[in-house]
Structure formats: C-alpha cells, structure tokens
Structure 1
C-alpha cells in the first residue's frame, strides 16, 4: 500500500505520522517536498550559537492539538510557556499598552481604548450600542469595513490591524470577519444588536491557562520527531507536477496501470529500487546552518544573500533513519507494461514524478493545490485558486544582554506609522528560557499582504531597518552582536471575505474524490494547532477511504 503526501510542511508531516499510526508498518508513505527542506514555515535556525525559531515561534495554548502531539512524540520536556507579559502598540509616535478586554483588538467597551484613540473616537465607541446595526446572518465582509463603520478607522488601524498583521501578515481591509473572528460572526448571526454586544458575547471566559506555548529548542525538535515517527520516505527538491486518477485496465494477459484522462502518456511508476522500497531522500529539519533556501523559505545569515532558488535536482539525498535513495524522473517508464484492450476501472492515483499510489494527501499551499486539482476537479481547483498568499521577512537580532529593552513581550506597529517594521517580538522578555541566554534576543517582522518590497531588500538593508526602527520604538541605541535574516515568500494564506464558503466548496468537491484528501494552513486556521488538526483529518479521511477497498 503506497500513499503520497505532497507537501512537507507541518500539515503534511502530521498527516504522514497519523497515517503510520493508523496503518502500521505495512504502509509505504512518501512525503514529496519541492523545497530543499521540510517543515514549511516552521524553521529553527541558529543565533549566537543557540537554536531560535525563524518562522512561527508559538502556538495557541488553549487548543490541545500541539500539546497532545508533543506528548505522543515524547517531547513533554520541550514544552515552555511565556512569561505572561503584554505587548505594546506603537501609534502616533508613542508606545501604548495593548488595550485589554478586546477580541482580536475589537473593543468590548470604550474605556479600553483610552489613550490609543482620540476623544471623538472614544465617544463613537461609547455611543455605538445606540446606533442601529445592519447585519444579515451568514454575510461576510472585511474586518476593516465593519470596525471603521461602527467604531471608527482609528480602532481598525491602531488596535485591530497590529494583531491581525501578526496572525495573517495582512490587514483588516483584506481579512474577512467570518474566518478571522468566528465567535464575533456567530454572535452577530445570533442577533446581537450592536458590535459592542457581539464583542462582549464573543470574548473567551476568563482563564488562568497560558495563552501560548512553545518548544524549548524550537519547532525543529517537533519536525525531527515527526519525521522519525512517521517512518516516511522524505523526498526533497522534487515537485509534484501532476496528479490523476489511476485506472486499472483488465486485459486477457495482464493488468496494466494507466492514468486518466485516457490517452495520457504521463503516468510514471516507481522506478526499481527507489520510493517503492521505503527508501528515503530527505531534507534535514534540524538545519541550523546560516544559509538555507527553498520554495517558500529563504534564509541567510549576515554577509550572505539567498538567491531564492529551490534547486533543480530531482531527489536530493539526505538520509533519514538510515535510509537513502532518490526518485526517478517523470519520464522513467521502468516497470510499466503495455496496455491491451479491456475494461477499465478507477483505482488509486498517479502522482508525477513518483508514479502510482493508492491514495494522496495534498498538503500544499493554495496555489499549488489549485494547479494540481485543475485536471481532476475544476470546481475544487477554482475554489482554492481564489486564496491569495502574503509574504514577509524576519530579522532576528542578538543584542548585548544588558540592553534596556521594555519589559514587554513585544511592540506592535499600527497601520500608517512611518516605520518599515510591522512588529517586534522581544523574545528574551517574552520567553523565560530565552532570558537565560547570554544575549538579548529580538525578532523584527517586515511585510504584509500587498507589500512584498521587504523581500527585495538585501540582508544588510533589512538588518539596518530593524536596528533603526527598534531604536525608534524603544528610545535606546541598538547595537546588534549578530543577526540572521529569514524570508518567507508566500508564507501565509489570506482569509479574505467569503473564505469559509470557498473552503466549504472545496471540501464538498474533494469529498467525491475517493482516496484524496487536502490539508494546510489555508483551510481552517493558519496556526500550528489548526495545521495539526488539518493533517490529522486528512489522514483519517485516507484511512477511511482505503478501508472501503481493503
């Protein structure tokens, strides 16, 4: 039994691991990754001689998926919690405390916004419950239009945008209410008479539980553990170029695999001695070298510039679990038998370039998923093709340990401020385990949806921008001892208005494709817990599908 998982991000790796759990050692699981490493936007690099996450660094602690997965993989000792400090918001050239009692920055009362917005806006927030609210259940609009209409533009730009930017690398003007703030949409659907009432109803109950969690040695520890536990063949620098339904042609003398549509000459079986024998070609998840580049992942250290290439080799070989081989090219026809006449039935799938499989999980970014689905199900492809991606860049700085940084978890930048950075994470203040190091650590984020210019800047330009802007918002000189730059082109999907309908259309269409499942950050949440859930759901769908044929 062969199963292909296309895409080696966290969703794909979790899908491979769950498939191994459910199907046992008899399953031949292949993870196909077009970049030169697996892990997707989870990447642990090195700064000042120690590991540091250069992509996602935390997960929502109130969701159980990551904590439970860590326990399964024996990583309980890796679980760390933040210090509980709150971030600041930089607006109007001044640092303000992040407003309390808000839902993704949406206020539940006027007083929480005092100091961050002007008196006119405060009065508008206070009076909002007295104004008629026009909301049709099931509707969806961008967050900005709703917030600016009810509370004023300052609330959207100074309170909501900084938080949405941290989640989606977008702004309230491009993100839909229903997907980004589901509890708020649900409260409005239930008949809330004002946005203030809806925000109050949607606020989570008070809790002493930690809001976030992380891994002591970075997400690389989780990625490495998933690779090992999945026992999958990890094939890097090899893109899936096409998927098609497999078709078994029953002939008098032999059974032959072809691919649909009939007449295609592009289906390639496993070459002898490669993926079919559980061999592996894998990228190292724990790569902490200063420079790494792949599709959707470009990283360089100070003094070097990544070229953004993902490599052109098919089947780059890095051993995992002691096994190593590469995959054959798409044009390799070894092992095929000629097709005679006879009756044909749909059976399994063909994934180029690795050949025929019994099932496939597409754990790829939305645009790639759309391309692969186009010939299989145009309706599914059209639905996912409407999901756009945002790009960003990150600069990690190691500063002298005694640098007088604010005693806050970070500094978020309001929309319209004359700064290039969009946010700063004061990592040594946020995470107690990082505070123990010999240096003070800061992460500076650049770029939002519609503005990819930071990706075109050189490493030196990004580092200079980070240093200058950090000095501005802290009011102190910043002298980095070391810095690392990480670029994330197309790193995060945008949950635009209508996103939930788009995903419902996709999943309805995929439900009719026996032996195929989708997973990824574009489905039901961009956070790591949501991706773990998506990978698990995809594996369960495949197991159910295979069970109906076994």
Structure 2
C-alpha cells in the first residue's frame, strides 16, 4: 500500500543531495563545511556507488575501484579530512605487464596513455612492421585535431593501428571500459590534446609532456590505496557527514523534482522534502528523468550519455598451491589488448599490489580479473561460475596458473562507466549551462569531469561551492584552500 505523502517545508539553507555515491557524499561533506544544512537521499541500501568492499575467503578486499590518483589533491585530501590519512598506502609494486602476442611483456615506460615517447621501448609489444610505421611519423604532414578528436583515430593516423590496438586500447579500457576509436582525446587525455594542438609530430608532443612533468619534479606515489580498501572511504565520509549534523536517508529513491517558489520540492515515496538547493549526484539516466520537467534541455543531453558494463572476478588461492607459478610474482598485474581475442581485459594481483592485502591473508594469494567493455558485454550474461572458469582459462594461458581457487566472488557493475566520446566536453558544458539557468541546482559525478575518484570529488566540490556561493555568499573556492581541478583524470582501475 502506498504511504501517504507529507511535506517537510523547512528550508533555511537546506540542500538535498540526491545520490550517495562518492560524489554525493563529497558534496554533502563540502556543503556542511560551508554551514549549510544537508540531507543525502540514497535510493539503495548501500552508500558508495562503485566503491565497495567485500570478503573473499574471510579477507576484506575491494570489489569496485581499488586505487586513486595521488597526484591530484581532491581524493587524498578528502580521505585525510575524514580520518583516513594514516591508512593511505601506495602500491607495494607497480610493475605491470601487457599480455600480448602470447607473452607477458613489460609495460613500456615513457608513454602517455600508451602513446610512446621512445619507440624503442615498444620492441616485443609491436611487430617489426609496427615499429617501422612509428619511425615514419615525423615525415608525415600535420594532422588537424579541430575542437576534438578520437584518441584511437588520431594515434592510428600518426603512428599506426598497432600502437592503438596493443597499448592505447587496453590502457583506456582500464579507465573507461571503452573503445579507443570513440573516446575523446580532449576529455580523456587532455594533456595530449593540448600537446598536439601545438603542432608538430605526435612523438614530439609526448616528449614535451614528459619534459614538463619532469620539470614539476613530482615526488611520492602516482596512486594510493587505503588500508582495508578504497571501499572504506564512503563510510568514513558518511560518518563525517552525520557527525557534522547531516542526514543520510537510505532506500529513499527520489521520484520527482519540482521548482517551488524560491526553492525545490523533492518527492520521495513517503514525503515531499523542501530544499533551498539540490545537488544531483546520480548517473546520467537518473538525472535525465528527474530533470525532464524542469530542465528538458539538460535531460535530453543526459539521456544521450552511454555507459559500459563490466564484471570483476575476485579469486583467492592458497599460496602453497602456487609453487612454480613464477609469472605471478613481482607483478602488480597485466592488461590485455582486445585485439588478442581474450575474454579478460585485465588482471590485478592484489596480494602483490597492496601490502595490506598480503598482511591480512598471509596464506592466500588474492587476484582479480575484469571482463566486459563497451559494445562487448555479452560475457556479463554468463553465470558467475562461467566467468570464473573463463578467467581461470585466460590466467592459465598468461601465467601458467593451474591451481583452483579456494573462494571466488563475481561483482557485476551494470552501467558502471559513462563513456566519453568525441564532443563529450561540449555536451557537459551544455548540461551545466542549462542547469545553471535554474537557481539552486547543480550536477556532479562521473559523467562530467572524469571517472576517477579525484575527478568525481572535484566535480562534487565544484557543485557544492557554487551552491554555497548562491546560498551563503561564500565565493567559490573560499571554503578551504584545496584547489579544484576538473580535468586530467588517469586510470585508477588499471595498473
């Protein structure tokens, strides 16, 4: 029986955040810091979105994202702010490989998302013909990029398809589970886009990027994990939100969003909540539905955003059963080019990569594979047991692994990763322009500025700061001194 609706008409600086993933929680945390009253509405029984921990053979592991880019400040800063700073942990090893041409080959150094600076480093990964094709690049006429261009198409035009198919494709697949020949260079690899806009050979553009990176003299790890799992971050942020006076309502789907006077009415199945402002931190399809009546221009754009689905297959083995499987040792994992025709697209050796996993289960070896990418999602319809078996088959071919796991866990992320095709940033700009026309409304999340955790947090901070500026007069960026960067995301799912 439908419960009667009743209205909560209290506003007074009240912001409703729709969505309890890491973006929604980060927005709520930021809004509370500005002195606003916050209510988070999460449709499901779990917070965190694509950040989730679980157990394998009694050991806690990440079943979603498992690392975050450390050279952007937003996610590390949020983790520190909610008491997890002492648990931040860099990978114990970052030695990754590419499983291609029937061998595990070292990931070439000195590349930008697979685009090489030194072609000599690609020997073994590429054929002699592929290496010869790269050598021709400086003699080619310039290739215009215009307002945007697909990463794969541009690189293939300059360096040949082998570079794309065996390096760029698996690396971008680790970030977006997407198709390199569709993914926007401007959105996904902005530093490369700016370099090629300067003109000259692509190889020279990569070298310029490397020189600028060296001049910045970055120290410290590129990536960070959290002892106990990245999936512990949402719970810590939620605890901080509650401690700061915020409300978090679980299993509370939002059914409607209506402009009401100077504010908004947010309709759930049990009541109407009055808000001075709303932050939409939901996937594109959900945001599109909620904005259909009040902001149809944004709703149409959001409805056009496509998603890729994937599955993670987590496996635990007895260490004593792995004697003689040397290919598992010393590596953080490997990527798999789609052109090689394998089922898995990557494997992460969690026990090698994260010291906390090794310490928590010294008698086990934990690893995980990923299956599924944009346009190739038929594997996700298989039974869990089938996904385990195809993972074991590929792992055996790659590493010689013959042992049977003592425990398995299959996690499906349906509609898990928004796709960033050519023109995506223009679409995002149109969405934000349309939304900004309505007072007290902002959007944030993986759709807008990058799919990595720092990018999602930055997106949340941007939305929260703009809402706070509207409601309190605090100028954007004055709530704290953390810079807000909204582009330049890199892989957190890959190696």
Using structure 1 for the length normalisation, give the TM-score.
0.78
Q: Deviations over 1:134-162 (max 9, x none)?
A: 2144x212111111111111111101111
Higher helix content, 1 or 2: 2
Instruction: Tell me the residue number matched to 2:489.
Output: none
- Give the deviation of 1:418 after TM superposition: 3.0
Instruction: Tell me the residue number matched to 1:49.
Output: 58
Does structure 1 residue 241 correspond to structure 2 residue 248? no
CA contact (8 A) 2:41 2:254 kept: yes
Greater length-normalized contact order (CA 8 Å, ≥ 6 residues apart): 2
CA contact (8 A) 1:110 1:123 kept: no
Instruction: Tell me the residue number matched to 1:351.
Output: 266
Does structure 1 residue 99 correspond to structure 2 residue 108? yes
Does structure 1 residue 228 correspond to structure 2 residue 228? no
Does structure 1 residue 18 correspond to structure 2 residue 30? yes
Q: Deviations over 1:95-139 (max 9, x none)?
A: 1111111100011232121111111111111120111112144x2
Distance (Å, rounded) in 2 between the aligned partners of 1:113 and 1:78? 37
Does structure 1 residue 528 correspond to structure 2 residue 453? yes
**The residue matched to 1:241 in structure 2 has which SS?**
strand
Stretches of structure 1 that go unaligned for 5 or more consecutive residues are: 248-346
CA contact (8 A) 1:470 1:478 kept: no
Distance (Å, rounded) in 2 between the aligned partners of 1:75 and 1:446? 31
Instruction: Tell me the residue number matched to 1:251.
Output: none
- Give the deviation of 1:43 after TM superposition: 0.3
Instruction: Tell me the residue number matched to 2:291.
Output: 373
Q: 2:345 aligns with which of 390, 401, 422?
A: 422
CA contact (8 A) 1:179 1:495 kept: yes
Instruction: Tell me the residue number matched to 1:435.
Output: 358
Q: After the TM superposition, which residues 29-428 of structure 1 pair with which residues of structure 2 at under 5 Å, given as runs?
A: 29-137=38-146, 139-190=147-198, 192-203=199-210, 204-205=213-214, 207-231=218-242, 232-247=246-261, 347-353=262-268, 354-355=271-272, 356-402=274-320, 403=322, 404=325, 405-428=328-351
Distance (Å, rounded) in 1 between the aligned partners of 2:129 and 2:281? 48
CA RMSD of aligned residues (A): 1.6
Using structure 2 for the length normalisation, give the TM-score.
0.87
**The residue matched to 1:376 in structure 2 has which SS?**
coil
**The residue matched to 1:201 in structure 2 has which SS?**
helix
Distance (Å, rounded) in 1 between the aligned partners of 2:399 and 2:46? 36
Q: Deviations over 1:58-103 (max 9, x none)?
A: 0011111122112211212211110233211111212111111110
Distance (Å, rounded) in 1 between the aligned partners of 2:294 and 2:122? 51
Distance (Å, rounded) in 1 between the aligned partners of 2:312 and 2:145? 40
**The residue matched to 1:234 in structure 2 has which SS?**
strand
- Give the deviation of 1:480 after TM superposition: 0.5
Dislocated runs of 4+, deviation >3 Å: none
Structure of larger gyration radius: 1
Distance (Å, rounded) in 2 between the aligned partners of 1:221 and 1:136? 41
CA contact (8 A) 2:65 2:231 kept: no
- Give the deviation of 1:548 after TM superposition: 5.5
